[in-house]
Structure 1
Amino acid sequence: MNNSAIEVIGYDKCTGCYGCLNSCPVESAIEFKKTDEGFYKPFLTEKCVQCGVCKKGCPVLKKVNNNLKEDLEVYSCWSKDEEIVKNSSSGGIFSELAKEYLDNDGIVFGAKWQEGEIVHCAITELEELKDLQKSKYLQSKIETSYLEVKKYLSAGKKVLFVGTPCQIAALNTILNHRNLITVDLICHGIPSYSAYEKYIRENFNYNIKDITVDFRNKDIGWENYNLTFKNKDKIIIKNNHRKDIWFRGFLTDTYLNKPCYNCKFRTLPRFADITLGDFWGVPVEVKNPAGTSVVTINSKKGKELFNKISSNLEVKKVEWEIALKGNPCLYNYKMNDSRREGFYKDFQKLSFKKLHKKHFPFPVTKISFIRRVLGYLKRKVM
C-alpha cells in the first residue's frame, strides 16, 4: 500500500490546488472540505484504496515546469479598449487573451462567483466573459476542472486556463498539450473563507451565499479602489481598500493559507506560459492611470499568443527588476506569519472587529496619534 499525497505532505503544505482529486483513479475516494481555518483541503474517504496515484497530481511532490529563463520577457501594457480596462482589475489583458480564444471556437477556464464562493468553470461565449473578469481574493474551488480541460483537448479544442501559480503547477502535473495555454496570476496568497464569512455575517448580517464582492471597483481609480459588497445587484456598501477591515487582514497576511507564506511556486521561470498582475510601482512613462498590467512571457507558446493580441494593446517592454520591485510576489517572496497563530487562537472568542483591533489594526497616523494624546490628557485633567 502507498500513502496518499496528503499523508505525505501534511495539511500545512497543502495548497488546496485539487491536483490529487483530478489524478485519483477511484471515484469519491477524495473529497474536499473546508477546514476550521477556512481553506478547502482534501480528505480521504473509505473508498480510498491507498494506490498512491494522487501523488502524481500533487505539485508539492511533483514539480513540472518546462519553461526556460531565457524565454522571459516583461511588459507594461493595457488594452486599447477603454471599456475593457474599466471592467478589469488592471489593464484588461486577461480579457484580450480570452477574446482571442472565444472568437476562435476555443475554451476559457477561469474563476467566477457561485453561491457566495469562488469556483472554476469553462466558458465558450463572449457574453460569459464578464463572470470571469476582476480579481477574486478567495480560494477557487477547482473541483474536476483539470479533467474537463483534458476532455476538451481530446476533442480537438484549444484551451486557455487561468489560475493561481499552485493551480497551474497542479495542471502541469496532469497535462502537457500543444493546444493548452496557461496563465497564472501574481498571487498575494489565499485568505480564509472562515474569516471572510465571519466578517460578512457580523458586519452586514448576511450569509455569504447572498453576497458577491467587487474587490477592485475602479470608480475612484485603479490605485485607490473600493471594495463593493452586493446582495444580488443591490450595493450594500462601498469600502475603500485602505479602510476595509477584512481587506486589512488580507494585506497584512494575517489569515492566509499556511503554504502561502513561503510559496514554492513563486519561481523563475514561472510555471505558466504567461503571468498577469497589477503593475504596482509602474514608472510613469509606461503607465495608464486607468489600469496597468504587468505581463511576463514565460514560454514560446506564451509569446506566440501574446503576439496575436498585441495589436489590441499598448505595449511597453520593461526590465524584470523594475517589475519585481513593485511586485515581490513575482519571485521568491516570503511573508511574515507572525500574526496568524494569535488570530486563530482568538478567532472563536472575539468578534471580527475586535480581532481587527488586536491583530491587524490600521496604522496610526500623526493626526490620529495627536488626537489620542489630547483625548488622554483631557481625561486626566477631568
Structure 2
Amino acid sequence: MVDDIEYMNAVIDVILCINCNMCHKICQKNYPAGLRKPQNWLQGWGEENIRATSSSGGFGQEIMRAMIRNGGAVAACKLKEGKFKFELFEDESRIPEFIGSKYVKSNPTGIYQTVKDSLKTGKKVLFIGLPCQVSAMRNYVKDDKNLYTVDLICHGSPSAKLLYKAISEYGYDLKKVKAIYFRSADKFAVETQPVPIVPKGVQDRYTMAFLSGLCYTENCYSCHYAQTERVGDLTIGDSWGTELSGELSKGVSLALCQTEKGKEMLDMMDFNFYDVDFNAAIQNNHQLRHPSELPQERKKFFEDLHRGKSFRQAVFHAYPKTCFKQSVKKLLIKMKLYSGGQ
C-alpha cells in the first residue's frame, strides 16, 4: 500500500507477483460486493452511560456488546501506537478501545485473513468498517454465513499522515497519544485523552479541513458506496434531520437494515429504537445520495503541503476567512470576552 497523503493505492510488486490475478478478482473497486436496499430505517440511542461516551447515540458500542454476549467476536478499528488498525476481540471489557468516530483512513492490513481464520472455526464474527472495507471483507470470505457486517455512513477519509502532521503542529505526538476523539454528539473538534487541542468553541484546522471535504484521498470523491443501497447487513450513522431534534445534542444514531442478518443483530440489541422519516434521513445525509464533492481548494491545499508548508498554513491558504474567524474566537476566549460554544 502506497500512501502519498492525497491518495492511497495498492501497488503490485512485479518481482513477487505470480500472475494469479487474485488481487483483481477480489478487489472491491473492480468487483464491488452486492449492494442491498434498506428494508428498515430506525433511529435511537443506548443507555445514558453508553450514549455519553459515544460520538452519536451509542449504536456501535451496543452492537459490539450484543455480538460478544451472544458468543461472537468483533473486528473493529482502534488507535494503537499512532496507527489506526483493526483487531479481532471477544472481551467485552475492551469495547471502549474501539468506540468513537475516526476521521482518518484506517489500515485494514491483516484483518481479512484474521477474520477468515476465525470464521473457519465456526465462530460468528461482526466486522465494522467503511463501506469499501466491508465490500472487501465480503469478497475475501465469500459472504460466509457467520460473517455479520456493519458499514458506516462515510464522508470520506484522509491519510493518517495528515492527522499526524496536523496534531504535531499543536504539540502532540500521535504515537504517544493513548486516545483521540474527533467529535461528541453534535460537537466537532479533535481531543486527546480527552483534552481539546484548541479551546472549547474553536474549530481546529484538522476538523475544519475534514468537515469541508478538503483533505480526503482522491478515491473518496468518486465512491461507489455513497448511495442509499448499502453493502453491509446494517448501516449506521447520525440521524441528521431527525424530528427528535431536542435529542441531537446528546447523540442520535441512524440505523439501516438490509438483510436477515441485520434483523438478527437488531434483535440482539438493548437499544431505544424509534421510527425515522427515511426521506428526511436521505436528504440530511448526502452520503446516502452521492459522494462528497471535490472542493476547488483541494488542489491548492496539497500543492502547499508538497511545497513544505505547514498543515495550518495550507488550510489557511484554502479557507482564510474561516481560519481568521476561528483565530478571533480563540483570542476572545483567551481574553475572557467570549465563553465559547460551537
TM range, normalised to the smaller chain? Answer: 0.7 to 0.9
Q: Structure 1 stretch 47-56 or stretch 111-120: which is displaced more?
A: 47-56
Q: Deviations over 1:342-378 (max 9, x none)?
A: 111111332222212111335377xx7xxxxxxxxxx
Q: Provide the residue aligned with 2:287 in structure 1.
A: 329
Determine the C-alpha separation between the residues in 2 that align with 1:259 and 1:138: 14
Q: Provide the residue aligned with 1:273 in structure 2.
A: 233
Q: Deviations over 1:275-301 (max 9, x none)?
A: 111112221368454110011111121
Q: Provide the residue aligned with 1:152 in structure 2.
A: 118
| Cα pair 1:339 1:359 within 8 Å, conserved | yes
Q: Structure 1 stretch 238-247 or stretch 325-334: which is displaced more?
A: 238-247
Q: Provide the residue aligned with 1:295 in structure 2.
A: 255
Please point out which of 111, 117, 132 is paired with 2:77: 111
Determine the C-alpha separation between the residues in 1 that align with 2:255 and 2:17: 41
Q: Structure 1 stretch 101-110 or stretch 241-250: which is displaced more?
A: 241-250
1:105–1:128 distance in 2 versus 1, CA, 3 Å: same
Cα displacement (A) at 1:224? 2.6
Determine the C-alpha separation between the residues in 2 that align with 1:275 and 1:241: 31
Amino acid at match of 2:31: K
Determine the C-alpha separation between the residues in 1 that align with 2:123 and 2:17: 33
Q: Provide the residue aligned with 1:62 in structure 2.
A: 31
| Cα pair 1:248 1:362 within 8 Å, conserved | no
Q: Secondary structure at the match of 2:11?
A: strand
Cα displacement (A) at 1:96? 1.2
Determine the C-alpha separation between the residues in 1 that align with 2:298 and 2:275: 38
Amino acid at match of 2:285: N
Q: Provide the residue aligned with 1:227 in structure 2.
A: 190
1:207–1:286 distance in 2 versus 1, CA, 3 Å: closer
Q: Provide the residue aligned with 1:354 in structure 2.
A: 313
Amino acid at match of 2:110: T
Q: Structure 1 stretch 125-134 or stretch 342-351: which is displaced more?
A: 342-351
When the two chains are superposed, the root-mean-square deviation of aligned CA atoms in Å is: 2.2
**Could you list the runs of 4 or more consecutive aligned residues of structure 1 that deviate by over 6 angstroms after TM superposition?**
none
Q: Deviations over 1:314-367 (max 9, x none)?
A: 2111232111122111232341232221111111332222212111335377xx
Counterparts of 1:251-262 in structure 2, within 5 Å, are 251-262=211-222
What is the TM-score with the length of structure 2 in the denominator?
0.87
Determine the C-alpha separation between the residues in 2 that align with 1:338 and 1:242: 24
Determine the C-alpha separation between the residues in 1 that align with 2:271 and 2:3: 40
Please point out which of 108, 115, 118 is paired with 1:142: 108
Q: Provide the residue aligned with 2:338 in structure 1.
A: none
Q: Report how many aligned residue pairs link the two structures.
A: 321
Cα displacement (A) at 1:56? 1.5
Q: Percent identity?
A: 28
* 2:57 corresponds to 1:91: yes
Q: Structure 1 stretch 237-246 or stretch 158-167: which is displaced more?
A: 237-246
Amino acid at match of 2:301: F
Uncovered stretches (5+) of structure 2, i.e. residues with no partner = 329-342
Q: Provide the residue aligned with 2:9 in structure 1.
A: 41
Please point out which of 305, 319, 330 is paired with 2:265: 305
Q: Provide the residue aligned with 1:127 in structure 2.
A: 93
| Cα pair 1:78 1:314 within 8 Å, conserved | yes
| Cα pair 2:186 2:248 within 8 Å, conserved | no
Q: Secondary structure at the match of 1:254?
A: coil
Q: Secondary structure at the match of 1:269?
A: coil
Determine the C-alpha separation between the residues in 1 that align with 2:196 and 2:248: 30
1:296–1:96 distance in 2 versus 1, CA, 3 Å: same
Determine the C-alpha separation between the residues in 1 that align with 2:222 and 2:39: 23
* 2:68 corresponds to 1:102: yes
Amino acid at match of 2:98: L
User: Who wins on radius of gyration, i.e. which is larger?
Assistant: 1
Amino acid at match of 1:72: Q
Q: Structure 1 stretch 138-147 or stretch 281-290: which is displaced more?
A: 281-290
What is the TM-score with the length of structure 1 in the denominator?
0.78
1:243–1:301 distance in 2 versus 1, CA, 3 Å: same
Determine the C-alpha separation between the residues in 1 that align with 2:162 and 2:219: 17
Q: Determine which structure has greater relative contact order: mean sequence separation of CA pairs < 8 Å that are 6+ residues apart, divided by chain length.
A: 2
Amino acid at match of 1:56: K
Uncovered stretches (5+) of structure 1, i.e. residues with no partner = 1-31, 369-382
Please point out which of 13, 16, 19 is paired with 1:50: 19
